[in-house]
Amino acid sequence: KVTLFWFRRDLRLSDNIGLFTAYENEKNVLPLFIFDENILEKLENKNDARVQFIHNQVKKLHSALKDYDSSILVKIGKPLAIFEALTKAYAIQNVYTNRDYEPYARDRDEKIEQFLAEKDIPFYDFKDQVIFEKDEITNNSGSYYKVFTPYSKSWLQKLKQTTLTPVDLDGRKKSFYKTQPFPLPSLKDLGFKTSENSIPPLEIDEKLIRAYDKNRDFPARQGTSRLGIHLRFGTISIRRLVSEAHELNDTYLNELIWREFYMMILYHNPALVDTSFKEKYDRIRWDNNEELFQKWCEGKTGYPLVDAGMRELNTTGYMHNRVRMLTASFLTKHLLIDWRWGEAYFASKLLDYELASNNGGWQWAAGTGTDAQPYFRIFNPESQMKKFDKDKKYIKKWIPEYGSSAYPKPIVEHKQARERALETYKKALDGE
């Protein structure tokens, strides 16, 4: 009899709550990873660096499990069908995993749990990806918070009563299923190729985090941690990072709280995937001009800080937060293009793409979200540049033709675009 431990976005052995619990409570723990075709099929770019990243991490797990005389079973397919096959191939006693809060994942897990229940196989899931989930942080009347500041206060309060001590496997071999290493599919077997994008290293740079509040707003500086992709796929433990952040820098910790806030908001509002948090805003009549959208995607709007950001994204799969805010605001307000278009574009490119934060960030910029930027506050791309890239270091890095005639003229005029946005938003909100 085996216990399956199903890895998803928690690709590490250390301080992994679900894995640790299985290891403590069960014998013959058999690790499993599924390359989910439902997800892979949607990725148009076959050089997607995220798939390569996951593949590499699975390879590392495969190698680390040799120390336990064990291995990881790696499958490619639709998860339910894989579980159907696994129940035939193994005598499965129970299944352990860590919880995922995205709508697709919840639906998938529910179906698998039901299928397993029919076979009397319990499905145990654990909180691992966040410090606080679902309804753990609520207001005095027991409802979830819809605004960040009181949520973060309550979150910090609760952190005081919470232990973040890591749970680590102690090297006991007996808990794992004994096997020779299983074969590992190659990237090619998955239908993917290697990518040229480089992945930021998994390292908590203490010096950087200590100075985070001073440097984080300037895109030309190495002022942020670049740990997004590691948080997304769980190659770092959030408990470990929060313990460090708590010691090192409150502003940094605050950003990690934003991450959990958006996950909690999405958990309570799965419809946010394609609707505005403030429903009235779905009455906005977007202009949705495809040609202008294309120019925005390519970084050819004639607004240097916007263009530098988009080119950084297209080249590296990363964009600095300050510039994410500006490019998103520019798309939705200056160009009056639906935030869903921009969100989908970011989702296809960002290595650290995280549904909850991307959706939250876009809805914030478009003015449609929880703590949103009020619609009448419209970033001025010129003054943002003067404030945050006054030496034009970031701009020149990404726009080699900056200042020459080859650089495009602005595709919209700031004042006019601003007026048009104000009018359009106002109309929608007045219900005209």
**Distances from the Cα of 280 to the Cαs of 284, 367, 389, 427, 431, in angstroms?**
8, 11, 35, 11, 8
Going by the annotation, the residues of the binding site for FAD are 212, 252, 255-262
Catalytic option among 6, 296, 362, 398: 362
* 62, 239, 259, 334: which one binds ligand FAD (CB under 6 A): 259
Spatial separation of the C-alpha atoms in residues 307 and 323, rounded to whole Å = 10
286 classed as catalytic: yes
Q: Is-contact 367 374, C-beta < 8 A?
A: yes
Nearest distance from C-beta of residue 429 to ligand FAD, angstroms: 22
Catalytic residue check, 296? no
Residue with Cβ nearer ligand FAD (152 or 225): 225
Task: Say which DSSP state 424 is in.
Answer: H
Distance of closest approach, residue 152 Cβ to ligand FAD, in angstroms: 12
Q: What is the DSSP letter of 177?
A: P
Which one is catalytic: 113, 255, 314, 380? Answer: 255
Q: Which are the contacts of 269, defined by CB distance < 8 A and separation ≥ 6?
A: 277
Contact call for residue 126 and ligand FAD (CB under 6 A):
no
- Binding mask 171-210 toward ligand FAD (x if CB under 6 A, else -) reads ----------------------------------------
Q: Is 255 a catalytic residue?
A: yes
* Among 61, 95, 58, 101, residue whose Cα is nearest residue 80: 95
Q: What is the CA radius of gyration of the chain?
A: 23
Three-state SS for 335-380 is CCCCHHHHHHHHHHHCCCCCHHHHHHHHHHHHCCCCCCCCCCCCCC
Q: Active site includes 139?
A: no
Residues numbered 309-338 forming contacts with ligand FAD, rule: CB under 6 A: 321, 324-325, 328
Residue closer to ligand FAD by CB (options 7, 362) is 362
Catalytic annotation present for 339: yes
Provide the β-strand partners of residue 2.
92
- Answer yes or no whether residue 226 interacts with ligand FAD by CB under 6 A: yes
Q: In angstroms, rounded to a whole number, what is the distance separating the alpha carbons of residues 356 and 267?
A: 9
Give the span between the Cα atoms of 246 and 319, in whole angstroms. Answer: 25
Segment interacting with ligand FAD, rule: CB under 6 A, options 54-62, 103-111, 156-164, 346-354? 346-354
- Return the number of the residue (79 or 309) whose C-beta is nearest ligand FAD: 309
Closest approach, Cβ 262 to ligand FAD, in A, equals 5
Backbone angles phi, psi at 323, to 5 degrees: -80, -30
Q: Is 6 a catalytic residue?
A: no
Q: Which residues participate in catalysis according to the annotation? A: 255, 258, 286, 321, 339, 362
Binding site for ligand FAD (CB under 6 A): 216, 224-228, 231, 255-256, 258-259, 262, 321, 324-325, 328, 346, 350, 352-354, 357-358, 361-362, 365
